[in-house]
Structure 1
Amino acid sequence: MVAVPEVSFALPNGSVTFSLSAATDLGSVRRVNEDSHFVLPPVVLVADGMGGHAFGDRASRAVVEVFQERIAADGPSDPDTVLAAIREANERIHAIRGPGGEQALAGTTLAGLAFVAMGEPTRHLWMAFNIGDSRVYSWSDTGLHQVTVDHSAVQELFEIGAISRAQMADHPERNIITRALGVDAEVDADVWLLPAGGVQSFLICSDGLTKELDDHLIARAILEFERDRPGDGLDGLAELLVAAAVEAGGSDNVTVVAVRSHLHGTGDDEDRSMDTAEVLEHLEQTQPRDEARG
């Protein structure tokens, strides 16, 4: 487990406090942990170096290094700064060289959240972003919801109706991703903007978690954690989920970051909690939902 202190920012007419939890594990099979994570609001992220690539660990670390250099940790960020950091990370991965000076075969997925300020008058938002199959989830008393949409072969098959969601977990192409940092000269992240207000909770993870635990099991683990440890703190949640994934098989590196924000007196969204149903109303609809499939 990585000990992460609580972080607070002063905002116009109020403040925001972040509770955090982070953990990573090699798993039961891999020899190298190619996952990296960054936990320093206003940005939290997970990068999963691409398995089978010679420098996946260096690729994921490059993402973290860029964000450490480019993101000021003294208040909200803005979408342009976050997107510029993603582009620079892609360029830095392309610059990775092997022992003989040759361009290395390196790549990584990326999923994260940025607490941003936009507009006049200023509004505070959560900016979720992803490239590949690492994920961002939101959760509340009403349930767990996947915010991001995987860039993967099975996701594309699901979207055209070729396979069901149940078939995705065991499909032979389940490990093929269709977008990653370090593969092409330019890369586009998918982005969702969620109004920030009251108390909100999010989970960011590499696919080492979701390979072993489906959404139902993740939600149940979070529910049991919050039942046994009531309050706003998240200490131990990421470690609990990582341990559960390793115990379930640990077929890959697994990394989890949990973050909970609490806005005080800002007027943002009436400074109230936003549940999963409200989050859904604001998500960009980039895929047919299960309900639409009947």
Structure 2
Amino acid sequence: MSDEQQPSPDGGLYLDYGYGSHVGLRRELNEDSSVVTDSLFAVADGMGGHEAGEVASALAVQALAEGWDAAPGPISQVDLQAFLDDADERIREATGAKAGTTLTGAVLVEAQDQLQWLVFNIGDSRTYLHQDGTLRQLTRDHSQVQEMFESGIITAEEIRDHPNRNVITRALGAGDLLSGDYTLTPVTAGQRLLVCSDGLTGELTDAQIADILAAGRSPQDTVDWLIHQSLREGGRDNVTVIVVDVRDG
């Protein structure tokens, strides 16, 4: 776990961030992986047989980080999709298409003449934005229960305890080759970005998460608090959390 401060590319804002991961209380292996740079933040949650999920998530963040590092200029949505395609290929080759992983996060980009978060997602790990006292989910879960909710079959309250809550409909390394979802949102001082695996959202409600994000603690203290609370609520899964604050320089 760490707490870092880095200037954002425009020089007028600073990013202050923390991150951490825990195996949880019921799992033997931590199949989550993450990547944290000065402008790229992402979490992957692997799934598969013994250790295969760990391999899948590690390969996903490795491909993402290597693509970001090797890029000659600013990252675009096309670049990100190429990184995801590379990750998908690496995972299928390494595991025989018997493992998969989610991947979500955000990268700082210049778009529409302003600094923005380019948010990406595949699977049911999530990226949120907390701003002006409001928590907003920037990603849409690619999961069976999300589709059931959108079809009116189950309620929002039933999602967290539904027996199929862990069945995802889109992943890297497994199933059909599908693109990620992408969205842009402007970067402004006072924002708090949260990137997490479902080990957090499976234990805490959005309201509980929002209360912790709004408490005013440092990014690293907030990460530690979120992980601690997820363990107190049962810790049924690996939990990985990144919190990024956008501050005036």
Q: TM-score, normalised by structure 2?
A: 0.92
Q: Select the structure of larger CA radius of gyration.
A: 1
Inter-partner Cα distance in structure 1 for 2:188 and 2:70: 20
Match of 1:234 in 2: 219
Match of 1:82 in 2: 80
> 2:142, 2:170 within 8 Å by CA — same for their partners in 1?
yes
Report the secondary structure of 2:172's partner residue.
coil
Shift of 1:78: 2.6
2:93 to 95, 103, 107: 95
Shift of 1:10: 4.2
Shift of 1:241: 0.4
Inter-partner Cα distance in structure 2 for 1:42 and 1:223: 23
Q: Structure 2 matches for 1:66-215, cutoff 5 A?
A: 66-72=63-69, 77-97=75-95, 103=96, 105-119=98-112, 122-184=113-175, 186-215=177-206
Match of 2:27 in 1: 30
Percent identical among aligned pairs is 39
Inter-partner Cα distance in structure 2 for 1:238 and 1:6: 15
Shift of 1:53: 6.1
Matched AA of 2:131: S
Report the secondary structure of 1:130's partner residue.
strand
For residues 183 and 53 of structure 1, do their structure 2 counterparts lie closer, same or farther at Cα, with a shift above 3 Å needed? farther
> 1:79, 1:116 within 8 Å by CA — same for their partners in 2?
no
Q: Structure 2 matches for 1:230-269, cutoff 5 A?
A: 233-262=218-247
Dislocated runs of 4+, deviation >4 Å: 51-54, 73-76
5+ residue gaps, structure 1: 98-102, 265-294
Shift of 1:203: 0.4
> 2:133, 2:214 within 8 Å by CA — same for their partners in 1?
no
Shift of 1:54: 5.0
> 1:118, 1:125 within 8 Å by CA — same for their partners in 2?
yes
Coordinate RMSD, CA, aligned? 2.1
Q: TM-score, normalised by structure 1?
A: 0.78
Shift of 1:80: 2.3
Report the secondary structure of 2:220's partner residue.
coil
For residues 263 and 115 of structure 1, do their structure 2 counterparts lie closer, same or farther at Cα, with a shift above 3 Å needed? farther
> 2:128, 2:194 within 8 Å by CA — same for their partners in 1?
yes
Matched AA of 1:72: D
Matched AA of 1:22: Y
5+ residue gaps, structure 2: none
